[in-house]
């Protein structure tokens, strides 16, 4: 038998008085977080709160992703692949959650968005320092994007740091070199602030790892983890594109780009092209 609904008594030990103790709202700084939504439409459009919260929550997850990717890079630098794997597993789940979050925004119709889009002016995701830092630490470096942050010195400085530091992939390749894998010297000495370009010299090394997994199990798992992240990131990008297309069609972006055309081109980007190229080279073994 289930009980009747009704007021559930609090257990005896549950604290209700917080006058001299830290409370939930104190610890989470909810006074700041929950009063930081400021719709600009007048009178406030019902759906602008969705738009704001969708972005704010994305920014929080991006912040955590950067934090975790920095940790993964440090684990690679210090030769702890198992720890890096665990951290990357969390990054993957954050990306999955961010990708699913597009479904909430997709409930915003073109008519609703058109009613408040004008208040956004020329602001756009181009100015997301959190997103740019994640792209940078994953290896998609582009110094030109820093120009968007001239007016925001703190964000500019943080992004410049991430731009000049090695990416997670740079750290992985250095670990591989330390483990005796053949990584060309030019890769290890490269200017890490520059965009990654396909390095054919790495493909035989990755092919060897994939053809002899038993001998290279921990780095093989890391390769697969990076591919998972590549895949999860592409799915986020694709859902951004498809959500944008259903809301604004082929309008230009508020940030000045062609809009959907620009977002479609971003799908051609790959963080770890040699890991993909190696797949073409792996020999199919004869059976029987
Ligand atoms: C109605 C909702 C949205 C629309 C119509 C939209 C549209 C666009 C467009 C057209 C661009 C290209 C830049 C421009 O010219 O404006 C862009 C870029 C971007 N958007 Fe969105 N977006 C939406 C929601 C979001 C959300 C929720 C996020 C989450 C953080 C986001 C993050 C970004 C980022 C990071 C970029 C830069 C991408 C890059 O540089 O590759 N957008 N968006
Ligand atoms: N680029 C979007 C506007 C937009 O999405 C946006 C505007 C202000 C703050 C964040 C935004 N999100 C991502 O681009 C548009 O063209 O409608």
* pLDDT bracket for residue 16 (50, 70, 90): confident
pTM of the predicted model as reported, rounded to 2 decimal places:
0.96
**Residue 262 CB–ligand 1 contact under 6 Å:** yes
- On the question of pLDDT at 189 being above 90, the answer is yes
Q: Does this complex have an ipTM over 0.95?
A: yes
- What DSSP assignment string belongs to 29-88? THHHHTT-----SSSPPTTHHHHHHHHHHHHHHHHHHHHHHHHHHHHHHTT-HHHHHHHH
Residue tagged 């479609």 (tokens): 264
Q: What average pLDDT does the segment 130-145 reach?
A: 98
Mean pLDDT of 136-145: 98
Q: Within the chain, what is the greatest distance between any pair of CA atoms?
A: 75
Closest CA to 169 of 132, 222, 212: 222
Angle between helices 129-137 and 48-77 (to 10 degrees): 30
From the CA of 155, how far away is ligand 2's center (Å)? 19
> How does residue 162 score in pLDDT terms, banded at 50, 70 and 90?
very high
Question: Is residue 55 annotated as involved in ligand binding?
Answer: yes
- The vertex-259 CA angle with 257 and 262, nearest 5°, equals 75
- Between CA 267 and CA 241 the distance in angstroms is 9
Query: Nearest ligand to the C-alpha of residue 47?
Result: 1
Q: Is 264 left (phi over 0), alpha (psi -120 to 50) or beta?
A: alpha
Residue 61 CA, ligand 1 centroid: distance in Å? 16
The answer to whether 111 and 251 have CB atoms below 8 angstroms apart is: no
CA–centroid distance, 124 to ligand 2, in Å, is: 4
Contact 65, 91 (CB under 8 A): yes
Please say if the pLDDT value at position 1 is more than 70: no
Model confidence at 164: pLDDT above 60:
yes
Query: Which tokens sit at 84?
Result: 């890096």
Q: How much is the average pLDDT of 45-65?
A: 98
Ligand 1: residue of 64, 98, 117, 124 to mutate (most ligand atoms within 8 A of CB) is 124
Distance CA 234, CA 273 (A): 13
Is 254 annotated in a binding site? The answer is yes
User: What are the tens digits of pLDDT across the range 219-273?
Assistant: 999 999 999 999 999 999 999 999 999 999 999 999 999 999 999 999 999 999 9
pLDDT at 199: 97
Give yes or no for residue 3 having a pLDDT over 80.
Answer: no
Q: What's the rounded mean pLDDT across residues 142-146?
A: 97
End-to-end CA separation in angstroms for the chain: 61
Q: Which of 1-5, 18-22, 73-77, 189-193 bottoms out in mean pLDDT, i.e. has the lowest? A: 1-5
């Amino acid at each position: 038998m289930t009980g009747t609904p009704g007021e559930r008594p609090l257990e005896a030990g549950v604290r209700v008085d917080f006058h001299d103790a830290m409370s939930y709202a104190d610890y989470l700084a909810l006074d700041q977080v929950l009063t930081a939504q400021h719709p600009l439409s007048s009178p406030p459009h019902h759906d602008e709160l969705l738009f704001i919260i969708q972005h704010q929550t994305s920014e929080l997850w991006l912040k955590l992703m950067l934090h975790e990717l920095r940790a993964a890079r440090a684990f690679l630098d210090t030769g702890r692949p198992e720890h890096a794997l665990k951290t990357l597993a969390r990054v993957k789940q954050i990306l999955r959650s961010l990708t699913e979050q597009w479904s909430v925004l997709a409930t915003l119709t073109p008519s609703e968005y058109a009613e408040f889009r004008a208040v956004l002016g020329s602001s756009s995701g181009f100015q997301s320092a959190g997103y740019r830092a994640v792209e940078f630490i994953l290896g998609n470096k582009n110094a030109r994007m820093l120009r968007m942050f001239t007016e925001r010195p703190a964000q500019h400085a943080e992004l410049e740091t991430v731009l000049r530091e090695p990416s997670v992939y740079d750290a992985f390749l250095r670990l591989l070199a330390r483990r005796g894998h053949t990584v060309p010297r030019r890769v290890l000495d490269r200017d890490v602030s520059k965009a990654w370009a396909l390095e054919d010299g790495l493909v035989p090394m990755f092919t060897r790892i994939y053809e002899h997994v038993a001998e290279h199990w921990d780095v093989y798992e890391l390769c697969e983890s990076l591919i998972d992240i590549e895949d999860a990131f592409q799915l986020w990008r694709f859902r951004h594109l498809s959500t944008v297309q259903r809301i604004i069609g082929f309008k230009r972006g508020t940030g000045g780009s062609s809009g959907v055309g620009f977002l479609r081109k971003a799908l051609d980007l790959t963080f770890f092209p040699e890991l993909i190229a190696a797949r073409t080279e792996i020999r199919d073994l004869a059976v029987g």
